[in-house]
Chains A and B, each alone.
Chain A
Amino acid sequence: MAENTKNEKILVDIQHERLSFFTPAGEVKALNDVSFKMKEGEVLGIVGESGSGKSVTAYSLMGLTAYPGRLIGGTIDFNGHRINDMTEAEFREIRGNEVSIIFQDPMTSLNPVYTVGNQIEEVIKLHTDKNKEEARARAIELLTLVGINEPEKRLKQYPHELSGGMRQRVMIAIALACEPKLLIADEPTTALDVTIQAQILELMMELREKLGMAIIMITHDLGIVASMCEKIAVMYAGRIVEYGTTDDIFYNPKHEYTKGLIKSIPRLDAKDHERLVPIEGTPVDMLNPPAGCPFAPRCDSCMKICLREMPPVTYFNDVHYTQCWLNQKAEAEAAAKAGKEEADE
């Protein structure tokens, strides 16, 4: 079933997206030339530190960009819709229906004064023709699907009567109510404790097998993307600095930032007293981004050109690419070497 839905149809196509927040202090360039494509049923992980533009990218897909943010360039296509041209009313049609989102903190993402049932049935009634009883039946079905016991009883309970993991399951039930094509998971397990995290992730993978939706997994936990995702986009300062399959990223990282991220994962086989390797420095000031590569000030292998000019994209295969001068240099050297060998012959 999951194999069938994994056809070659493109679900998300973002080209050169630029998005800025126009604050009183100036223009904060949150996204600078972000491009990627997703096929139906694909799982994409977006990793990066706070403020790197992970959530902003995903939210812009749903038209949920917070004021004073504005799309200022590029195109976003989702499931046959040109997101750039859509009105608020058109967005309302697809939100919760074709694209859903699970937020980070299930403690605060459910409305405390309405019952769980009310909040699930609301979205069903909004997007389908189901009447009250049918919506209730569907809600029970959904709660069973996300592994909540005694669904009839839970429907009548309020969010504060449920545990954190249970609430996140409810959020997932709400998100899946209308069988969306795309599920955006914005750090869905950050606020949960570790055992619950594993359960929720397992549940999400299980549901993807069953329902075949595509998932964008936003996280800063590389462990999660390694186990769940097919493709990974590494974001830094509003750019995708490296993009590739999970294997590409973990076994053949090309960008210094990606390498740093992987190095900073605590290892099980680490010797006693072995320290974690952090990436030194702090993220760039997005109000005044540097002219060159935004990672240059923190990069151990920084060259002169890195500070002056933004590196072009280097492709390693059909999907794997990075934006880094080092790779340009490696390529240039390889090309030069090849040229020299040719000349020698």
Chain B
Amino acid sequence: MAKYLLKRVLLALVTIWAVATITFVLMNMVPGGPFLSEKAISPAATAALEAKYGLDKPFSERYITYLKDACHGDFGLSLKQRGRTVTSIITTKFPVSARVGGVAVLVSLLLGVPLGVVAAYKRGTAVDSTLSVLATLGIAVPSFVICTVLMYFFGVKLGWLPTLGLTTPKHYIMPVFALAAYPTSYITRLMRSSMLDVLGQDYMRTARAKGLSQKVSLFKHALRNAILPVITYLGPMIAYTLVGSFIVEKIFTIPGLGGEFIKAINGRDYTMIMGTTIFLAVFMVIMLLIVDIIYTIVDPRIKLK
């Protein structure tokens, strides 16, 4: 196990390096730059700015300097948000996104798993088809539509829920719903199909033959076998959901990290692009490792070697 973990950590470092390199190369191939804007800036000023951030240096030198600094934990200054380091932006914005995202992850798990189990157990009935329609809707309808529809009805027409910011628990309801709609639906479908597989297994017949109740055989014997695909999906899903969604954060004016990804790319904020990308990559790699470890706990047949 320890050997496996060491191997995984080394591999993770390689992955992160590859992500960083590819991002760095692509970013430099994209036309434009951080100091181009509609307002004309004098060439001298641009040159001065570029010199300040080291953008006048050749590509290879910048790449090596960046990697060296990054290894020391220095991701540089944001090129657009004056005077702020990339690290400080990420550390102030990430918790905001993570709070909304975390609730969304919980909601999608707590709803998706039982709904999937019920749909599988009641396969072919009205309950199953209703859930199936809802799940398809949740996957197919884009989040900006969900956001605006929610906002229109519950925010404007009914006036039940606040539409801006994140100050009270009530503020969480709509963004969480918008964020959780897709993963909930996806988990429901995953759970349903893997549960159907498991329900046909011989050991489920054994459970019935023992005299166990439906509840025990479903939630003890079937669930633990059927949940593996959901755990696989959960790794990347948690990573993506916790770093925030540009659309949902934009619509509900949540000061989270999701918006920063898009803002950084649009503004050619090179250091921010690198920072957010590496952050997501690290997060993702950690989540995948955790998923692998959870696998071995849920299914004793899986051994990490």
- Residues on A facing B (Cβ under 8 Å): 62, 64, 91-97, 100-101, 103, 105, 108-114, 122-123, 126-127, 158, 160, 171, 174
Q: How many A-B residue pairs have CB under 8 A?
A: 68
Which residue of chain A has its CB nearest to the CB of B208?
A64
Known: A108-B202, A158-B300. A62 touches B209 (CB 8 A): yes
Contact with A along B189-217 (1 / 0, CB 8 A): 00000000000011101111111110000
B80 at interface, CB cutoff 8 A:
no
Q: How far is the CB of B229 from chain A (nearest CB, A)?
A: 14
Instruction: Find A64's partner among B202, B209, B213 (CB 8 Å cutoff).
Output: B209
B301 at interface, CB cutoff 8 A:
yes
Q: How far is the CB of A130 from chain B (nearest CB, A)?
A: 15
The answer for the CA separation of A122 and B208 in the assembled complex, in Å, is: 12
Q: Are A96 and B298 in contact (CB under 8 A)?
A: no
Q: Are B225 and A123 in contact (CB under 8 A)?
A: no
Which of B206, B208, B209, B225 counts the most chain A CB atoms within 10 A? Answer: B209
Q: Are A95 and B209 in contact (CB under 8 A)?
A: yes
Q: Are A174 and B210 in contact (CB under 8 A)?
A: yes
Q: How far is the CB of B139 from chain A (nearest CB, A)?
A: 29
The answer for the CA separation of A94 and B211 in the assembled complex, in Å, is: 7
* Closest 8 A/B residue pairs (Cβ): A95-B211, A96-B210, A96-B211, A108-B202, A111-B203, A92-B211, A123-B210, A109-B202
Contact with A along B283-305 (1 / 0, CB 8 A): 00000000000000011110000
Instruction: Give the residues in chain B near A103, CB-CB below 8 Å.
Output: 202, 205-206, 209
Q: Are B207 and A111 in contact (CB under 8 A)?
A: yes
B62 at interface, CB cutoff 8 A:
no
The answer for the CA separation of A109 and B202 in the assembled complex, in Å, is: 5
Q: Are A109 and B203 in contact (CB under 8 A)?
A: yes
Instruction: Give the residues in chain B near A92, CB-CB below 8 Å.
Output: 211-213
The answer for the CA separation of A162 and B62 in the assembled complex, in Å, is: 59
Within 8 A of A (CB), among B256-305: 298-301
Instruction: Give the residues in chain A near B203, CB-CB below 8 Å.
Output: 108-112
Q: Are B211 and A126 in contact (CB under 8 A)?
A: yes
Instruction: Find A112's partner among B207, B212, B225 (CB 8 Å cutoff).
Output: B225
Which residue of chain A has its CB nearest to the CB of B210?
A96
The answer for the CA separation of A123 and B221 in the assembled complex, in Å, is: 13
